[in-house]
Amino acid sequence: MVSASILALDVEQLNRDWQWMLSVLQTVLQRGGDEQLAELLPVPGSKLDIEKTPADSVQLTQAYSIAFQLLSMAEQSSAAQFRDRIESESGMADLPALWGESLQQLIDRGWSADMIASELPSMRVELVLTAHPTEAKRATVLAHHRRLFRRFQMRHQADLPPWRRSENEQAIESVLNILWRTGEIYLDKPDLQSERRNVMDYLTVVFPKALQPLDQRLRQAWREVGLSEDAIADPLALPRLTFGTWVGGDRDGHPLVTPEVTEETLMQLRRGAIELMREELVQLARLTSVSAYWLPPTSEFLNRIAERAQAMGDVGAKAIARNPNEPWRQYINLMMASLPTVKANGGLQNDAGQTFTYQRSRELLADLRCLHESLVAVDMADVAANAVAPTMRIAQTFGFHLAVLDIRQNSAKHDTAIEQLLRAAGMSDWKFASWDEAKRMKFLTEELASSRPLTHPDSSAGEEADAVLGALRVVTQYRSKHGADGLGALIVSMTRNTSDLMAVYLLAREVGLLQRTENGPVCPLPVVPLFETIDDLERSPEIYDRFLQHPITRNSLAAIAQREGSSAPVGQVMIGYSDSNKDGGILASLVGLRHAQRKLTHVARSHGVRARFFHGRGGTISRGAGPTHRFIKSLPDHTIGGDMRLTEQGETIAQKYAHEPTAIYNLELFLAGVTRKSLADSRSKEAEHPLEPTLVKLAAWARSTYCELLHSEGFVEFFREATPIDAIEQSRIGSRPARRTGQQTLDDLRAIPWVFSWGQARCYLSGWYGVGSALKKLQTECPDEFAAVKKSLRDWAPLHYLISNVATSVTAVDIEVMKQYAALVDNATLRERFVTDIESQWKLACEMVEAVYGGPMESQRPNVQRMIALRSEGLRLLHRQQISLLQRWRSYNKMGEHAQADALLPALLLSVNAIASGLGTTG
């Protein structure tokens, strides 16, 4: 549950808030004539008679979905108020994992203000927004949720006059009424355009608004811990937050992501960035309406205005004339006139006759720097800090691109594309995919020595080749026009060999993306491996070592570093949490990821390269989620290096960033955590913890137990009948198919629906299965090591993160509900065998986790227990409804009565949505 990441809140306030919100929802239902439904809401303190509630009421499911959203809002609001109260009463250093505590810990370790300040500008966190099929809410519904939260926050303002309080409460009721009448699921599958709009909203509205509060909080914490403000006076001398996106660029198993979609996405991001900067400059002009009559600027600044205006001709003259005797506004007018304008059809153009237009955002940033310095020079430093500095940070963060767009494709698709190119070139031996690694590498190396393409640019080699080359051609054309600032990485999912990476260079050569230099060909964009399965993670150091050895990789990384001004080449490596967990269970996944990062860091270092890890985390514990501060602390030492890149997927984006106080809190956790961990690592020696071998041992045992279950005869049949996986595959929660190729196998099923379906059945299998038996074996066979695990639990971050995540997973299990879903399995023998095994393993996992903690879960994990207890009764009602609907839907399908089955599907999907709302997660 995402809510479990909330560190602390006021429980009494939470209960009051949720009860009040439910009372408003009851009023809405009563007004609409749904009095009986209003009485069935899960009001705290009331007892529901589940047996007397309707078994498949769509209205009740909708009402509960909204009720759980209100609970989540109440939790977030209560947590925000709790944090505000702590900071007001005790100071910022008393809040765990944020800037105050992080800076104080660094001071305690001997860091001075100047020492910390010198490192801050090199700290960076890049969040990559993705649209995997995990978002169970329509964009319209999410917008209603945000409006509701803002109004709910107003309710807690103590100084609201009576008329304003009355108006606010009426507005809350109005939004709830609209929400009740809107409906929460997609009746049609969402398209990429709607996913893009959702991402654009966060990039142009939510995140820009969070930047200034984030900087203000850092500066306030800096003052409170007694550091000199002079050390961070420069507006850009602070940690950087940047963004990426996969929407419109991720084509791994997504047939709708065409080259045309990628081109549209790149231009939409560019237009959005320029419009954002124009809006910011308009606002900045309003804030700098200083008259030269009362405050003359420096002659240097006036000369700069005159020179720029003259260079811009008529456009410059008009900009100057607009605000006579207000030089700072005139300068901003010139800046606005230097931005490319957006045409009516959405394209970009320059004003006619204009001789100066910004080509890169760094030119705009340089002008903002000049504006800032000109105000400081005339004793207007407060205006420079409060008006210009925030605009500088937005320009630094979003540039002219908002977010970099990654291009991801599966290695198998690249193989097929190359085979088609070889056939088109007339080669008799064209079966590239079947060649051994030595032959593939020899061919690629020889081909890359030549600039001659295999086929003519205007010819078609085949469908896969056209799709792959088309995407790379779009990237090439965008780069030639606008530079590389808006372009991310070329990511190869399912990287199994070095040749999978080298193949991208060959494909890039075909479209002219490779550049010829004295040292050989260079790729201007990083080619990035994605190691996903546990086996691939184990082999990743060897694969990456060979990749870095190749001259084209070395030259490319050096060229990229020179362009970006990096002191050393940076090698990006993406590691997948989802497939490794699905593949081997949570313990084997986290330990495998940990060891892969350590080894890959050493490999990169041996080639003079700094490894930059791209963490492919999902929204659930089974897919790498967990409390942000613990995740960062748990990462292997010396693997962050002040630069973290990670995915934010599906519903996680809305839950962590939709509401301003929650967004600022989560972003601060990342920035403060990365800074603290990176600086602490820089002064520590690399030493293996004594329990590392124990973790490896536990991971192997847990994986063996987990894989034995997955490969048991009849398990796939049990899984498909004991979870709503078949309904999830029909859901309208994302544009991407649930399977990569459509085969009905566990291997082909994406990790997201795999985790989603077990969560809906309240089993969370991949979040705990096998861990209990592994811990029990350790306790029995290696009691000293088990004692060491108990002793080190809270002192060693990786162990604490792992065990706490398992604890959350087992606590979220409702074994009785799981059995009710399992009752849907027709084969009684199969059902009994797997239910008995899963229940015994779950009980063992609970027992062993409590043994490690040294106490019952209720006392050791009170936050998680409270979150689940608040939802338990309502969730059981929804599970009962879903099981009833699922049973009838499947029966109709088996009898061939598909019209009746289709009629039930909206209600079934709404139940999926409502349960996801209650659990706070999908996949």
Catalytic residues: 132, 582
Residue type at position 57: S
Residue type at position 250: D
Give yes or no for a contact between 193 and 262, defined as CB atoms under 8 angstroms apart: no
- CA distance linking residue 542 with residue 634, whole number of Å: 24
- CA distance linking residue 145 with residue 184, whole number of Å: 11
Q: Would you give the end-to-end CA distance of the chain in angstroms?
A: 11
Q: Residue 8: which H helix or E strand, with range?
A: none
- CA distance linking residue 509 with residue 694, whole number of Å: 47
Q: Say how many C-beta atoms besides its own lie within 10 A of residue 737's C-beta.
A: 17
Helix, strand, coil distribution of the chain in percent, nearest 5: 65, 5, 30
Name 240's bridge partners: 124
Residue type at position 920: G
- CA distance linking residue 121 with residue 867, whole number of Å: 38
> In this structure, what is the dihedral angle of CA atoms 508, 511, 516, 520, given to the nearest 10 degrees?
30
Q: Comparing C-alpha atoms, which of 373, 304, 27 is closest to residue 175? A: 27
Q: Token pair for residue 827?
A: 């084969």
- CA distance linking residue 164 with residue 158, whole number of Å: 11
List Cα–Cα distances, 306 to 309, 327, 369, in angstroms: 5, 10, 18
**Cα 710–chain centre separation:** 28
SS (H, E, C) 520-577: EEECCCCEEEEECCHHHHHHHHHHHHHHHHCHHHHHHHHHHHHHHCCCCCEEEEEEEH
Look at residue 64 and give its three-state secondary structure.
helix
Angle 119-120-121 from CA coordinates, rounded to 5°: 100
Q: Say how many C-beta atoms besides its own lie within 10 A of residue 226's C-beta.
A: 10
Residues 6+ apart with CB under 8 A from 549: 607
Give yes or no for a contact between 410 and 232, defined as CB atoms under 8 angstroms apart: no
**Cα 689–chain centre separation:** 30
For 162-200, give the DSSP string: HHHHHHHHHHHHHHHHHHHHH-SS-SSPPPHHHHHHHHH
- CA distance linking residue 622 with residue 239, whole number of Å: 30
Find tokens 């996913």 and name the residue: 195
Strand-pair category, 527-531 with 487-493? parallel
**Cα 832–chain centre separation:** 39
**For helices 660-682 and 58-90, angle between their N-to-C axes, nearest 10 degrees:** 60
Q: Comparing C-alpha atoms, which of 379, 76, 373, 102 is closest to residue 221? A: 102
Burial state string for 550-576 with b = 16 or more CB within 10 A and e = fewer than 16: bebbbbbbbbbbeeeeeeebbbbbbbb
Residues 6+ apart with CB under 8 A from 286: none
- CA distance linking residue 261 with residue 736, whole number of Å: 14
- CA distance linking residue 817 with residue 315, whole number of Å: 69
